[in-house]
Structure 1
Amino acid sequence: MDGDHSAKVLRYNSSNQSTVIVERVRTPGGSRVRKELRRPGPVEKGGAVHWATSTDPGHWNYWHREAEVYRDDSLRASLTGTGLELAGAEVVDHESGTTLWLEDVTGTAGPNFDLTDHVAAATALGRWQGRPPLTRPWSSQRFLRQYSTSRPGDASVVQDDDAWAQPLIRATWPAGLREGWSRLLTHRDALLDLMEQLPRASSHLDAWVSNAVRRGDGTVVMLDWAFAGDGAVGEDLGNWLPDAVFDLFWPAEQLPELEAACYPAYLAGLRESGWTGTDSDARLGVVASCVKYAWLLPLLLSQAGDTGHQAYHEDADPERLYRQRGMALAHLVGWADEALDAVSDQ
């Protein structure tokens, strides 16, 4: 670019075949974020097959969904008064794909959220999802099943003694995790079925701190709506909480505190919007959503001997990363057991 323009590449999931680049572009008139989407095509050599895109609007990774979201006045209207917001956007379609020119939202970035910010986000999610679900032509369907069962990782490694004997695993993962994750995998289909039977809600489906900015007025702007569509009540919060730990944005030691603050706030938000479902259904949506991560522990086991490790595409200290993730995975075992116990009692 010339001297009057500059661009800085932002942190994003470069493995997703839909995204060419995300960058902040500065001009004399201000700054905007440019996100370039590509049309589906053959996965490039060495590319991640599990991040391939689709032309099917119901597919979890429909390539054009985010552009559709920003153009959808009904979705913007559904957020009014909830405390959630869409960024301003200009959508430009062209031969090779679509360019999103997005508002460069200012405020507290999600990775820097304190407990008060997390509670505000949980409350706002509840207010939005307490309203009747909004079904649009671009809405993803059965996201949780499609996404979670398409991830890499061989579940059989959980039964491999040598995998659990690796020094990094022995030094960082809590006792009982192997047995707990084996239970989760055994009941994986039952948990997926449960999530699909719970009350439905308009859902972001990639709700986590890196996709959030809290403005000075308290409004939480949610970014990256590429997966948005049909979800279970509680599913977004069930993603928000552990994902903050998995990518080292919130300490695993304080995950119980985060949940204890955010779950009641989410439930209160649902009630504020007139939601008439049961508390137990909302709770099940949060805890049973742990099935999304069934693939993650096997993948981490298989990667424990690698020479380098990353958290959201940035280098991370292996011991810290595995200790934090091990604690979060153990927390999800508790969620799975809670969900399975609740269902067996019905």
Structure 2
Amino acid sequence: MPDVAAAHAEVREVLRVPAHEAVFEPLPHNPWNGVTAGVWRVTGGDRSAVLKVLTRTKETSVSWAASNDPRHWNFWRREAYVYRSGLARVWQRHGIRAPRLLECAERPDGDVALWLEDVPGEPATTWTLTGHVDHAHRLGTAQGTVGAGEDAPWLSQGFLRDYTSDRTTGEALLDDDEAWQRPLIREHFPPGLREDMVRLRHDREWFLTVMESLPRALSHLDQWPANVRSGGAGTSVLLDWAFTGDGALGEDLGNYLPDAVFDLFVPAAELPGLAKAAYDAYVQGLRESGWRGDEQLVRLGVCASAVKYDWLTALMLARADEEQVAYGNEGTVPAGLRYRERGLALAFLAEWAAEARQLAPRLGFPEAPSGR
């Protein structure tokens, strides 16, 4: 439960009811992220709001630790700055908006309380494929119009490199024959995945250098169905702007598509068709916005973004004997289902990586390493 005493004045200000009349309902979120003290839906009378408390004092793993560096991907105050500056509204006229900021409270203990609109729309976790494609079109229009955006001093830089650098769990298992013979792995990972994922890890620096050299865009950097809701006709509401900053054009889309499968919101069998339709819609949105760049650079940005998940295979190897916990610690998921779907999605990312290796030299980039 949140510190109700700290929230007393905030509840009265936002919901117009005494704190003791408010009901706090915990909402799913990443419990390991060191910048998030908690997220709740708070209801009082006929009003409701979402309370998200930002902190820098939460104990967690190194890979999710809060940072005081304004450019670090996990800078603990960034989301407050995004909302208070109005940056969260920058894509609104293109059909992607953020929840309205109702109150931003600096607490005596140093935490920051964000009180946000409780968006009633349908979560993208339950959308049809058409809904995801429509969101991709809006994203293309928004990023083509806004471009790299204003370089505020608290926007993240080097997200992809820094985010992946600390995710080393199970890395040694990529070359461990026994790990690849565990039943979950042997039965559910496609043939050839080991070779593909070992090579992706081996080529990591090349992929990161390519991504850092592509056209830039103001990027959300955590786009996936759990962070998107319907906002009315032709509108998406995008949640959780904590990582916002500099990214490659196409990087947000390259994150959204595989993540939809990794957390079982879209069946892996539908990923190839979804990815093609969403990419075409994204490029169409870019063109409609007036963007006149080389579309092959966008394609390279989407395909090379596969490097964001080069650590996931190793993590799956390391956790093959563990209970499979659902996102936000909301129960469990069948281990076989998770490993089958993620294995197929990783194989799809291997195809993206292969396409990136072929495309990059034609666009003037050095060739990828020749493998191991």
> How far did 1:3 drift?
7.0
Match of 1:157 in 2: 173
Matched, 1:27 2:44: yes
Match of 1:108 in 2: 122
> How far did 1:277 drift?
1.2
Match of 2:334 in 1: 317
1:127 to 132, 135, 141: 141
Please give the residue correspondences for 1:235-254 in structure 2 after superposition, counting only pairs within 5 Å. 235-254=251-270
Q: Distance in 2 between matches of 1:253 and 1:73?
A: 39
**Larger CA deviation: 329-338 vs 153-162:** 153-162
Please give the residue correspondences for 1:81-230 in structure 2 after superposition, counting only pairs within 5 Å. 81-89=93-101, 90-96=103-109, 97-131=111-145, 132-134=147-149, 135-230=151-246
The answer (yes or no) to whether the contact 2:88–2:241 under 8 Å persists in 1 is no
Match of 1:341 in 2: 358
The TM-score normalised by the length of structure 2 is 0.89
State the identity %.
47
Q: Secondary structure at the match of 1:81?
A: helix
- Give 5+ residue unaligned stretches, structure 2: 5-18, 364-372
Count residues with an aligned counterpart: 340
RMSD in angstroms over aligned alpha carbons? Answer: 1.4
> How far did 1:91 drift?
1.1
Q: Distance in 1 between matches of 2:87 and 2:39?
A: 26
Q: Distance in 1 between matches of 2:108 and 2:307?
A: 38
Letter in 2 for 1:245: V
1:301 to 317, 328, 332: 317
1:62 to 71, 75, 80: 75
The answer (yes or no) to whether the contact 1:246–1:311 under 8 Å persists in 2 is no
Matched, 1:266 2:299: no
The answer (yes or no) to whether the contact 1:141–1:229 under 8 Å persists in 2 is yes
Letter in 1 for 2:97: E
Letter in 2 for 1:240: Y
Letter in 1 for 2:148: P
Q: Secondary structure at the match of 2:139?
A: helix
- 4+ runs of 1 displaced by more than 3 Å? 1-4
The answer (yes or no) to whether the contact 2:170–2:317 under 8 Å persists in 1 is no
Q: Distance in 2 between matches of 1:200 and 1:295?
A: 24
Q: Secondary structure at the match of 2:94?
A: coil
Match of 1:49 in 2: 62
> How far did 1:104 drift?
0.3
**Larger CA deviation: 153-162 vs 8-17:** 153-162
The answer (yes or no) to whether the contact 2:25–2:42 under 8 Å persists in 1 is yes
Cα deviation code 1:247-267 (max 9, x no counterpart)? 111111111111021001101
Q: Distance in 1 between matches of 2:46 and 2:70?
A: 36
Q: Distance in 2 between matches of 1:110 and 1:296?
A: 23
Letter in 2 for 1:86: A
Cα deviation code 1:226-246 (max 9, x no counterpart)? 000000000000000000111
> How far did 1:344 drift?
3.3
Q: Distance in 2 between matches of 1:182 and 1:48?
A: 25
Letter in 1 for 2:242: A
Match of 2:31 in 1: 14
The answer (yes or no) to whether the contact 1:248–1:311 under 8 Å persists in 2 is no
The answer (yes or no) to whether the contact 1:110–1:212 under 8 Å persists in 2 is yes
Letter in 2 for 1:207: Q
The answer (yes or no) to whether the contact 1:311–1:321 under 8 Å persists in 2 is no
> How far did 1:95 drift?
2.6
2:347 to 325, 330, 341: 330
